[in-house]
Amino acid sequence: MTGGADGSGGSDPGTGGGNGSGGGGSTTAEGPCDIYKAAGNDCVAAYSTIRRLFSTYTGPLYQVRSGSNAMNTGSGGELHDVAQNASGFADKAAQDAACGSGTCTVAKLYDQSGHENHITVAKAGLTNGGANAATDDFETIANKGPLKVAGQDVYSLYMEARQGYRQTVAGDGMALGDDPQGIYMLADGTRVGTACCWDFGNVTPNPKSYAEMNTLFLGIAYWGRGAGNGPWFGADFEAGVWMGGSNPGEPGWGGLNDAANAPANSNNPAMKVKYALGFQKTGNGPERYALRMADIATATSVTTAYAGNYPSGKHLDSKGAVVLGVGGDNSNYSFATFYEGAIMKGYPSDDTENAVFQNVKAIGYGK
């Protein structure tokens, strides 16, 4: 691990140099971004506090801030990059040594795609996102989510309400306008919020503006519904969360003003499971979207909850900034635990997503 001045980012994440921190592993094991790249859907933003997602990435996975506090909005303390070990997993022991017995927070998630779309704590947004949305968010406590993956002891990103990460510029290579885009995310469906909005995806660079979004949601929304009592994966396009449907009244429809009149989408399963994998994709010529998901602990295939036309009254208009854990206007009342995820170019095929499912399933979460 390396230390650095506040905001320095430590060692170069593309090369993994310096004081043992970059430490890239020697293994070239295939990750989800290798699968997407082979299919022509290059990852443009990829994050995990747990493992390497792209076999050629040799840099640190994330950065922690020692000497921090539970309400840190992105300053002070000492920064330390968390390296990979030889197997491509985060070096938990080095994080523990750097953090010591004091409070340590996650200051940065490094983008493993090579586009350097690193994300830091989210900044204040609009008051219509809730009372706390108009204030800066807090960094996540670094050691609250220990787990074992493939026999490795690691930490998840155990996010609480008012904790989020985002860019305030359009990211390199990110979808803009009606460019097609894919997203995958693995998260803990057993601890999720029932408010707005725990998202991962593409939003406006300016949290104080109101703009179209293109994100994958996990939780129980005020709007669209799936089977059972949730939580569900949905599409947050702003002014609603869709669990399916292209017109008002269709199953899963999630428009802000008319979702109450729509039935639940029985094809969108409740994902109250420890390792919930979700996929969203948008574009593909005429404006379309799809939602797919699986419980990697028990499923043998991926469920397609919806694949069809984009919601009527909405327009695919991506703004290009990455967000994780909050909404585009910094709506920050929800929470969940993030394991890994990526945003990629184009409209990935079902076969490509099925291969990513098999990769994530095989890695050994919880084992």
At 25 the pLDDT is 37
| Residue 217: per-residue pLDDT | 98
User: Is 353 one of the catalytic residues?
Assistant: no
Distances (CA, A) of 126 to 71, 136, 165, 196, 327: 20, 11, 16, 13, 10
The lowest-confidence range among 7-16, 216-225, 319-328 is 7-16
The whole-number average pLDDT for the span 152-174 is 97
Q: Taking residues 293-305, what's their average pLDDT?
A: 97
Q: Is pLDDT larger for residue 286 or for residue 231?
A: 231
So what's the pLDDT on residue 129? 73
Tokens found for residue 179 = 């460019």
With a cut of 80, say whether residue 18 has pLDDT above it.
no
Cβ-Cβ contacts under 8 Å for 237 (sequence gap 6 or more): 212, 213, 214, 215, 311, 314
Q: Is 30 designated active site?
A: no
The maximal CA–CA distance of the chain, rounded, in angstroms, is 59
Kindly indicate the confidence band of residue 38, based on its pLDDT and cuts at 50, 70 and 90: very high
Task: Give the pLDDT mean for 243-268.
Answer: 96
Residue carrying the six token digits 């994966």: 233
pLDDT, residue 340, reads 98
What CA–CA distances, in Å, run from 98 to 81, 86, 101, 159, 192? 10, 19, 9, 21, 29
Q: Is the pLDDT of residue 17 over 80?
A: no
Q: How confident is the model at residue 2 (pLDDT cuts 50, 70, 90)?
A: very low
What average pLDDT does the segment 72-91 reach?
Answer: 97
How many CA atoms lie less than 13 Å away from 287 in the CB half-sphere?
14
28: pLDDT confidence band, cut at 50, 70 and 90?
low
What's the mean per-residue pLDDT of the chain? Answer: 92
Cis peptide before 99 (omega within 30 of 0): no
What's the pLDDT at 157? 98
pLDDT value for 4 = 39
Mean pLDDT of 343-353: 98
Please tell me the predicted confidence (pLDDT) of residue 309: 96
Average pLDDT over residues 350-367: 97
pLDDT band of residue 287 (cuts 50, 70, 90) is confident
Instruction: Give percent above pLDDT 90 in the chain.
Output: 87
Asked whether 75 and 88 are in contact (CB, 8 A), the reply is: no
DSSP state of 55: T
Task: Identify the pLDDT of residue 251.
Answer: 98
25-39, 134-148, 186-200, 263-277, range with the lowest pLDDT:
25-39
User: Given 81, 329, 340, 353, which residue is catalytic?
Assistant: 329
pLDDT of residue 15: 33
Q: What angle do CA 15, 45, 197 make, to 5 degrees?
A: 140
- 3-362 — its CATH code? 2.60.120.200
Here the tokens at position 112 are 């493993």
Tokens of 133: 């949305």
CA torsion sign for 28, 95, 122, 130 is positive
- In tens, the pLDDT along 96-105 reads 999 999 999 9
If you average pLDDT over residues 250-276, what whole number do you get? Answer: 96
CB 202 within 8 A of CB 176: no
Contact by Cβ (8 Å): 214, 353: no
State the average pLDDT over residues 127-147. Answer: 92
Pick the catalytic residue: 34, 179, 238, 250? 238
Per-residue confidence (pLDDT) for residue 210, from 0 to 100: 87
Q: Which two tokens stand for residue 164?
A: 């989020």
Residue 342: C-alpha distances to residues 32, 46, 111, 149 (Å): 8, 4, 9, 19
Give the three-state DSSP class for 67: coil
pLDDT at 286: 78
CA atoms of 348 and 280, how far apart (whole Å): 9
Q: Is the pLDDT of residue 45 over 90?
A: yes
Q: Residue 16 pLDDT > 50, yes or no? A: no
pLDDT at 6 over 80: no
Predicted local distance difference test score (pLDDT) of residue 35: 98
pLDDT, mean of residues 247-260: 95
Q: How confident is the model at residue 20 (pLDDT cuts 50, 70, 90)?
A: very low
DSSP states of 270-292: ---SSSEEEEEEEETTTTEEEEE
